[in-house]
Amino acid sequence: MKILITGGAGYIGSVLTPVLLSQGYEVTVLDSFMFRQTSLAECCQYETFQVVRGDCRDETLMKKLLQDADVIIPLAALVGAPLCSRDQVGTQTINLDAIKLLCRLASPAQRILMPVTNSGYGIGEAGKFCTEESPLRPISLYGVTKVEAEKAILERENGLTFRLATVFGISPRMRVDLLVNDFVYRAVHDRAVVIFEGHFKRNYIHIRDVVNVFLHGIKNFEAMKGKPYNVGLEDANLSKLELCDEIKKYLPNFVYLEAPIGEDPDKRDYIVSNQRILSTGFVPEWSLGRGIQELIKGYTILRNSLYSNV
C-alpha cells in the first residue's frame, strides 16, 4: 500500500512516517521543511521512502504525487490559534484551500484519513460531554478552518477524520508549545508556572496513540469511513489545575499558581466522549502519567535555549 503524507516532517508526521515504513508501507512525504527540521533523516535508509520538498498548495505537484497513492494523510497545516492568528492568509490557504484542492484532485477510490481537532467544540456545556453529534462552535481561525476542512473530507466517498484531543509527547520535530508539553517543560526547567483561568478543561492524547489510531484507521477503513472520530483519553478530561496536579506527582518540587487577574487568550473549555473510536476496537496505550514521564526524560535532553547564553 502506498501512502502520501503532506506535512510528514511535522510534529505528528515525524513519528508516524517511520512507524509506517517499519510496518512495510511505501511512504512519500511532501513537506516545505519550514522549520528546517531534520526529523526524517532516519527514514532515508528505507527504499520504500520518498521525500519531496514542496508546497501542498501547488496543484501541478499534487497531481503528480497523487498518481500513485492508495492512501492520503494530509497533515500539512498551520497548527494552533496563535500561529494561525499571525498568518491568516497561510491558515486559509494551507488548512482549508489545500484540502479542497486535494478533494478535487483525488480519485473516488483514494482513501483520505485526516486529523482535525476537537477544538471545534469551542466552549462546551458544563458537565456535558461533547460527542461527534455535538454542535461545532469553533472560536479561533484555526478551529474554523479545520471544521470546514473536515466537512470537505467527509462529503467525499472515501474519507474519515480524527478529531484529535490536545496532543502531548516527544517527537523528533518537537513542539514545546502544546499544553502538556509546555507545562512539563516549565516544571522541569523553571519548577513553576502561573496559570490563567485554570478551570478550563480539555481532553488529551499521546502522539504515539495518534500514530496508532492512523494505523487502526488504515486497517479498518471500510468499516470506519464516512465519519468523524474523537480521539482522546477517557480518563483525561482535565482542567489546567488538574493537569498540574498530575505533573506534580512526578515532579514534587513543581509549584503552580493561578493568577487572580488576567485571561487566557485560548478560551476553549469542554469535555469529550471518545466512545465512538473505542467502539471500533481502538484502545489507547499511553496514559497521561506515562507521557509525563517520557517528557521529563526528553527535557533532560532538550533545552529551548536558542537565543540564550545558558
Note the pLDDT tens digit of each residue in 48-102. 999 999 999 999 999 999 999 999 999 999 998 888 989 999 999 999 999 999 9
**Amino acid 39: pLDDT:** 96
pLDDT band at 309 (very low <50, low <70, confident <90, very high): low
**Signed CA dihedral, 127, 131, 137, 143: sign only:** positive
Q: C-alpha 141: how far from its chain's center?
A: 16
AA identity, residue 106: A
Residue 113 lies in a domain: yes
pLDDT of residue 308 exceeding 70, the answer is: no
Question: Tens digits of per-residue pLDDT, 10-38?
Answer: 999 999 999 999 999 999 999 999 999 99
pLDDT of residue 310 exceeding 60, the answer is: no
Report the mean per-residue pLDDT for the chain. 95
Question: Tens digits of per-residue pLDDT, 211-262?
Answer: 999 999 999 999 999 999 999 999 999 999 999 999 999 999 999 999 887 7
**Signed CA dihedral, 206, 208, 214, 217: sign only:** negative
**Signed CA dihedral, 18, 20, 24, 30: sign only:** negative
Residue 149 lies in a domain: yes
**Amino acid 274: pLDDT:** 97
Domain of 10: which CATH number? 3.40.50.720
Residue 72 lies in a domain: yes
Whose cell is 473536515? That residue is 150
Residue 62 lies in a domain: yes
CA angle at 160 for the pair 14 and 46, rounded to the nearest 5°:
30
Total of domains in the chain: 1
Residue 158 lies in a domain: yes
pLDDT of residue 306 exceeding 90, the answer is: no
Question: How far is residue 76's CA from residue 35's CA, in Å, rounded to a whole number?
Answer: 13
Question: Tens digits of per-residue pLDDT, 117-156?
Answer: 998 898 888 889 999 999 999 988 999 999 999 999 999 9
Question: How far is residue 64's CA from residue 105's CA, in Å, rounded to a whole number?
Answer: 10
* Domain interval for residue 153: 2-168+205-233
Whose cell is 479545520? That residue is 146
pLDDT of residue 307 exceeding 70, the answer is: no
Residue 126 lies in a domain: yes
AA identity, residue 68: D
Report whether 112 contacts 159 (CB < 8 A): yes
Residue 257 lies in a domain: no
- Percent of the chain scoring above 90 in pLDDT: 87
Report whether 181 contacts 296 (CB < 8 A): no
Residue 66 lies in a domain: yes
**Amino acid 21: pLDDT:** 98
Question: How far is residue 142's CA from residue 90's CA, in Å, rounded to a whole number?
Answer: 11
pLDDT band at 303 (very low <50, low <70, confident <90, very high): confident
Q: Specify burial of residue 139 (Cβ count, 10 A radius: 0-12, 13-18, 19+).
A: middle
For the entire predicted model, the pTM comes to 0.95
Residue spans of alpha helices (H) in the chain: 13-22, 59-66, 81-86, 88-90, 98-105, 141-155, 179-189, 207-219, 221-224, 240-250, 275-278, 288-301
